[in-house]
Amino acid sequence: MYLIELYKSVQGESSFAGLPCIFVRFAGCNLRCAWCDSEYTFAGGKPFTQAEVIRQIEALGPCKLVEFTGGEPMLQVKELLPLMDELLARGYTLMIETSGERPLDLVPKAVHKIVDVKCPGAGSAANSFRLENLAALTPNDEVKFVLSHREDYEFARAFVAQHDLHARAGGILLSPAFNKSPSPLRTTDNATLDPRTLVEWMMEDGIDARLSLQIHKFIWEPQKKGV
Ligand code: SF4
């Protein structure tokens, strides 16, 4: 499999936010979200065998939480699924961050899927969510909407209701998009949508969702890689 980086840091998003986590970042993505903060994953990557990945994960321990991210890890599904099986057998808790555009039905149910639904503000990636993936969601999973503006918020609110996401997944994440060229300041000024505005909308609506800030962008400078 082709990886960009493999490192230990703190989980920045989802209901696992704040926990130590080992990140396995896969190379390559077939989408081009307007606000993508991982464009350095689009090309390149270094080849790894499954044994090498497991050896590096174990060397970063003790830490039993591993996230597969990218890029889009599901583009390397033939290598990824056996790796998931092996790590589950070794007692790891696994997460995958995925765009939701690739089929997810073969991902082991024990893996916590953090599945994006791309909103209009994602530009060319908007509406790329594969609707068949709704059937693959379990209470272990969380559905994430990255929001750039009010139109995105209303899209997310409607999508949650239309597809009864609360009955399908364990949680809904609303995450403000970040500027592609943020200042080095570790502040919300780098968010495209002010989190305070988003929280006010959530309060007005009484929406049952979790504000998801990428806390690594407040702990370190927003453009720092490998954290
Ligand atoms: S799916 Fe992820 S890696 Fe791919 S373009 Fe969108 S944000 Fe970037």
Say what the pLDDT of residue 117 is: 98
Helix 195-205 to helix 150-162 angle, to the nearest 10 degrees?
40
74 lines ligand 1 (CB under 6 A): no
Question: Closest residue (by CA) to atom 3 of ligand 1?
Answer: 71
> CA-CA distance, 154 to 130, in Å (whole number)?
20
> CA-CA distance, 146 to 30, in Å (whole number)?
18
CATH number for the segment(s) 2-219? 3.20.20.70
Q: Of the candidates 148, 170, 143, 175, which has an alpha carbon nearest to the alpha carbon of residue 159?
A: 143
Say what the pLDDT of residue 226 is: 82
32 lines ligand 1 (CB under 6 A): yes
Q: Of the candidates 33, 195, 29, 225, which has an alpha carbon nearest to the alpha carbon of residue 117?
A: 33
Percent pLDDT > 90 in the chain is 87
Whether the pLDDT of residue 78 is over 90: the answer is yes
Per residue in 130-160, pLDDT (tens digit) is 999 999 999 999 999 999 999 999 999 999 9
33 lines ligand 1 (CB under 6 A): yes
Per residue in 170-217, pLDDT (tens digit) is 999 999 999 888 888 888 888 999 999 999 999 999 999 999 998 888
Say what the pLDDT of residue 126 is: 98
Say what the pLDDT of residue 182 is: 84
Whether the pLDDT of residue 97 is over 90: the answer is yes
Residue in 3, 25, 26, 31 to alter for ligand 1 test, most ligand atoms within 8 A of Cβ: 31
Say what the pLDDT of residue 96 is: 98
> CA-CA distance, 55 to 83, in Å (whole number)?
12
Q: Which atom of ligand 1 is nearest to the CA of 39?
A: 8
